[in-house]
Structure 1
Amino acid sequence: MRKGQYQFVAGFLLVPVALYLVFVIWPYIQTFGYSLTDWKGQSQTFSFVGLDNYVALFQDDIFLGAIWHNILFLVFIPVITILLALFFAFMVNAGGRSRAGGVSGVAGAGFYKILYFFPQVLSLAILSVLFGAVYRSDSGGMLNGFLVSIGLVDPGAPVEWLNEPNFVLWALIAVIVWHGVGFYLVLFSAAMQSIPRDIYEAALIDGAGRAQSFFKITLPLLWDAVQTAWVYLGIVAMDMFILVSTMTAPGGEFGGGPDHASETMSTYLMRNFLIYGKSGYACAMGVVMLLLTLILSVVTLRATRRERIEF
C-alpha cells in the first residue's frame, strides 16, 4: 500500500474511531471507575472504596441467584432455538420428497419461512403484552383457557404461569424461543442454499435417510452459522432485561418476581441504580456482566471451533 493510500485510509477511519472511543470505550472506562466508589447516582460527591462493591456482590444472595438464572437462560435458550431453527430450515430446504428435479423443501416452504419469521418483526415490548394475555393467571388467559377446555386444569384453580417460581423461567424461555426461531431459520436457510444440491442427491442415491443427510451433510457445512447464532443467543440470554422487566413486574421495580424467582443481572442492576440509589454497586454489576459476556463469547468460539469444510 502506497503512502498516499495510508493517509486516505487513516483519514477515512479517524472520525468513526473517534466516535467509537467517545461513545463506547469511554463509558466502559467510566463505569469501571464508578464501580470502585460509593457513588449514589444523584450527587457528584463520592468516595473511593476500592473492591468493596465487588466483594459485596459475591456475598449478595439475590445477585448470585440472578447469575444462576442467566446461566439457565444461557443453556436452554441457544440449545432449543438452534435445534428448532435447524430442523425447520432443513425441512423447508431439503426435507421434501425427492423428485425428478432433485432435492427440494416441503410443500409450501416459502409460506413457512414467512410464517416462522413473523414473530421477529415484533419488538420484545409488544411480545410481553401479547404473552401477558397468553399467561394470564385466570381461565381468561389463552393458555389456561385451552388447558381448562381440554380438562387438564381446574377452572377454579388456573395455573399462575408468571407468579409460580417453578414456571416463570420456562415461560420466559418459551417467549424468547418463539421470537428467535424464525430469524435463525432464515439465517440457516440462506446458508443451506449455498450447499450444492448434488451433495444431497448423491447421498440419496447412496441410501442416506433424512437424519443421516442432516447430521452428515447439513450440520457440518452450517457449523459457522451455528457458531455465530450461539454467540448472539448467548448475549441475549445474558441480558433478558426487556422481557423480565415487563412481564414479571406487576408492581413495578423492573420485575424479577415472584420473590426474585426470575431475577437477572440486568434487572437487579437497574433496580440498584435507579431505585435503591446504589449506583456504584450497580456499576460493579455492569462490569461483572461485561466480563462474563466476553468470557462466554471467547469460550463459545473456542469450544465450537472446528476445521472448515469446503465444497
Structure 2
Amino acid sequence: MSHVANSKGRGGFIAGFLILPLALYLTFVIWPYIQTFGYSFTNWTGQSPTFDFVGLDNYSALMKDEVFGGALLHNLLLLVFVPAITILIALFFAFMLNAGGRSGAGGVQGVAGSALYKVIYFFPQVLSLAILAVLFGAVYRSDEGGLLNGFLTKLGLVDPAHPIEWLNEPNFVLWCLLLVVVWHGVGFYLVLFSAAMQSVPKDIYEAALLDGAGRAQTFFKVTLPLLWDSVQTSAVYLGIAAMDMFVLVSTMTSGQFGGGPDHHSEVMATVLMRNFLYFGQAGYACAMGVVMLALTLILSAITLRATRREHVEF
C-alpha cells in the first residue's frame, strides 16, 4: 500500500510541475496554430471581427497563385543548398580544427591556433539578422563603393562605370542571400560538430592513421559516421531556416516586404506577410501559413527518414 501511495504522490508532484508549462504551451503555441487553421477557411481581412466561411477557396487560389508558386520554388532551392553547403563547410573546418593537424607525440590534434579559429568562425553567429542585413547591404552595394564591386573592380573583372547591382540582378539575388545564410550559420554548426568530435576517442583517429588512412579517408570513414546524428539534426534545423528567410529577404531586397526584383527573391514568408498586412487578405495568408507548416513537417520527416542509419558506438 505504501508503494502505491508513494507512486501516486510522485505522480501528483510531477503533474503539478507540468500543468502550468503545458497550459502555457497550449495557450501560446498550439492554440494559435488551431486559430490559423480555422481562419484559412474564411475571408477574414485581419481587422474586421466578422468574416464568412469560404471553404477551400483560399487553398484553390493558392494553386493558381504564380507568385506563391515561384516563392515555393525559391524555398525549395534554398532547402537543398543551404543545409548542404553549410554542413559541408562546417564539417570540413571542424575536422581541421580537431583532427586536421599533424600527429605528434601528443597524438592527433587540430591545426595550430584552432581555439582562436573557433572564436573567429563563431563570431557571425552572435550578430542579429538585422545587423547582417546592414553589413551585407554594404558588401552588395551597387556601386564601386560596395565591398564586392570594389574588390572585383580592382581585379579588373568589373567595369567601374557599370558595377553589378547584386541585389537587383534576377540571376544573382537569391544566391547573394544564400551566401549570407551560410556565412551566418557555419560558425554555429562548426562548434556543434567540434563538440561531437571531441567526444570521439583520439585512439580511433590514431588507429586509422596507423593503418595508412589519409585525411580524406579518415574524414569519410571515421569522422562522418560518428557524427551522423549531429549532421542529421543540423540538416533539419537548417531546412527549417531555409523555409523561412523572411528577415533577410524583407530587409535586403526591393519591394513591399522584399522579394524583388520582380519576385526573383520571393519566399513564402514574404508573400504571406504582404497578403496579411498590405493587401488585407488575412484568411488567404493563413492558408499560406498552413501550407508552410505542412511542408516543413513533411520535409523534416523526409530528411530524418532519408538520413537515418544505424547508430555507430565507440
Give TM class, smaller chain: over 0.9
* 1:297 lines up with 2:300 in the alignment: yes
CA distance in 1, matches of 2:15, 2:139: 54
Corresponding pairs, count: 309
* 1:59 lines up with 2:59 in the alignment: no
Matched with 1:149 is 154
CA distance in 2, matches of 1:77, 1:220: 21
> Which amino acid is 1:291 matched to?
A
Residue of 164, 169, 172 corresponding to 1:167:
172
Q: Which secondary structure does the structure 2 equivalent of 1:112 belong to?
A: helix
> Which amino acid is 1:194 matched to?
S
TM-score (norm 2): 0.98
Q: Which secondary structure does the structure 1 equivalent of 2:168 belong to?
A: coil
1:75, CA displacement in angstroms? 0.4
Residue of 190, 194, 207 corresponding to 2:195:
190
CA deviation vs aligned residue, 1:243-269 (integer Å, no higher than 9, x gap): 0000003x5x21000000000000000
Residue of 74, 81, 90 corresponding to 1:85:
90
1:116, CA displacement in angstroms? 0.3
1:34, CA displacement in angstroms? 0.5
Report matched runs for 1:28-47 at 5 Å: 28-47=33-52
Residue of 261, 265, 270 corresponding to 2:268:
265
Residue of 1, 6, 11 corresponding to 2:16:
11
TM-score (norm 1): 0.99
* 1:285 lines up with 2:288 in the alignment: yes
* 1:308 lines up with 2:297 in the alignment: no
CA distance in 2, matches of 1:198, 1:128: 44
What residue ranges of structure 2 are gaps of 5+ in the alignment? 1-5
> Which amino acid is 1:245 matched to?
S
1:3, CA displacement in angstroms? 1.1
CA distance in 1, matches of 2:47, 2:91: 49
Matched with 1:217 is 222
CA distance in 2, matches of 1:2, 1:41: 49
CA distance in 1, matches of 2:299, 2:28: 24
> Which amino acid is 1:91 matched to?
M
1:81, CA displacement in angstroms? 0.1
CA distance in 2, matches of 1:27, 1:185: 35
CA distance in 1, matches of 2:209, 2:41: 63
CA distance in 2, matches of 1:179, 1:26: 32
Residue of 90, 105, 111 corresponding to 1:106:
111
Q: Which runs of 4+ in 1 moved over 3 A?
A: none
Residue of 247, 252, 258 corresponding to 1:247:
252
Matched with 2:143 is 138
Percent identical residues? 76
Matched with 2:31 is 26
Matched with 2:3 is none
CA distance in 1, matches of 2:92, 2:20: 44
